[in-house]
Amino acid sequence: MLLFLSILFVVLTAIIMLTQKALGVIIPPEKLGKAQRKLLYVDIILIAGMVLGFTKLHGTTAGGIILQVATMLFMAQIVYDWLALAYVVVKYLKKKLFEVPENPQRRRFLKGAAVLPAAAVAVSAYGGLIERHQTVVRHFQVPVENIPDDIKGLSVVQLSDIHLGAFMGLEELDRLLKEASAIGGDILAITGDLFDDNRINYKAAKMVDNYAECFKYGIYFCWGNHEHLRGIPAIDIAIEGTRIKKLDNSFDMVAGEALPVYIAGVDYPIERKQFDFLKEKYTELALKEIPSNSVKILLAHHPDFIDSAAKYNTNLVLTGHTHGGQLGLFGIPLVPPVFKYLRGMYHVGNTMGYVHSGNGSWFPFRFGCPPEIAVFTLVEK
């Protein structure tokens, strides 16, 4: 948590500094200093609120509201900074390329730029209040050579990174499960970070259990890093007695005779210094004993497992963790390349690896990256 808050502080400080500079695009010099001070006071209050929201008020309604408001206001500043930069560049190019004389009436320039904060607020409101609630359904085909009729058409519905808590309550979970079950899939796969609030874990587990009969071969689940953060023992108790099939470096045969379908799952390597070693070890434990003449599907929270699973000729690897970056434009993620696999489908040899965009979030904002339900169907190659 300390590392996360430190990174957050650095990012927010950079946003504040950029916005202070960008205010000069819409505010005349004689009023700029006063406006900068006022915005700085507001930003300091927002940062204090975010710290409280992620610590003492985490998981509470008040904490959720504070984080929602602070996130939207900071995102509005980010959007404004980019729009202000684009506005200045366009003005400069227009002047140089078309030899437009300098306008002595700066107020006209400011009046034209005044639309920028309004546009920034509109984008922020859309991402914070609308898109993050607009779940999309994406369908994918998984080709299998010489697929027998008894498994042809078998489908897996994937959810991931639901993050139950301040931004995703039990009512939202119920709606999501209802939408997922209406698809008619044979298996529901939840690839980690479902349980993120110990106060509602038990109710959440029972709610997921209520939908077990909607999926012919049941509901499968693997651990994410947030289950480790909240405490595996407590979540284990919540899951106990339900029909949620936890795959912890293990596998299960779900269907098929001539060509059986196995679904496996791995734990999340929570020890950062041993991540690579544990990733390989967990993959081995989950996949090594599965017969080669089979269809293998691996559930893993972290997308790096795509590479390790490919070594075992796994047909399909379903992952999450990245939330798809939560920000995008024309399908292109607008975040630094922190992860090798960030969003969507990847191919490593004969292995298909999918990185789910997530259903919830740890900061309540999505733009160009809506939450999703992903559906994978076995078909003839």
pLDDT per residue of the chain (381 residues) written in tens, 0 to 9: 677 778 888 989 999 999 999 999 999 899 999 999 999 999 999 999 988 888 888 777 888 889 999 999 999 999 999 999 998 898 888 877 876 565 555 555 556 677 899 999 999 999 999 999 999 999 999 999 999 999 999 999 999 999 998 789 999 999 999 999 999 999 999 999 999 989 899 999 999 999 999 999 999 999 999 999 999 999 999 999 999 999 999 999 999 999 999 999 999 999 989 999 999 999 999 999 999 999 999 999 999 999 999 999 999 999 999 999 999 988 888 888 889 999 999 999 999 999 999 999 878 999 999 999 999 999 999
Residue 343 DSSP symbol: S
Task: Provide the pLDDT for residue 194.
Answer: 97
Whole-number Å distance between alpha carbons of 325 and 337: 9
Q: What is the pLDDT of residue 292?
A: 94
Longest Cα–Cα distance in the chain: 81
User: Given this model, what pLDDT does residue 143 score?
Assistant: 98
Between CA 127 and CA 364 the distance in angstroms is 8
Please state, in angstroms and rounded to a whole number, the distance separating the CA atoms of residues 235 and 232.
Answer: 5
Cα–Cα distance for residue pair 54/76, rounded to 1 Å: 20
User: pTM of the predicted model, to two decimals?
Assistant: 0.91
Is residue 184 within 8 A of residue 381, CB to CB? The reply is no
pLDDT value of residue 103: 57
For residues 265 and 222, the answer to whether their CB atoms sit within 8 Å is: yes
First CA to last CA distance, the chain: 46
Q: Are 294 and 285 in contact (CB under 8 A)?
A: no
The residue count of the chain comes to: 381
**How many angstroms separate the CA atoms of 148 and 37, rounded?**
69
- Distance of alpha carbon 203 from alpha carbon 188, whole angstroms: 19
What pLDDT is attached to residue 299? 99
> Which domains are present in the chain?
2-131 (no CATH), 137-380 (3.60.21.10)
How many Cα atoms are found within 13 Å in the side-chain-facing hemisphere of 284?
6
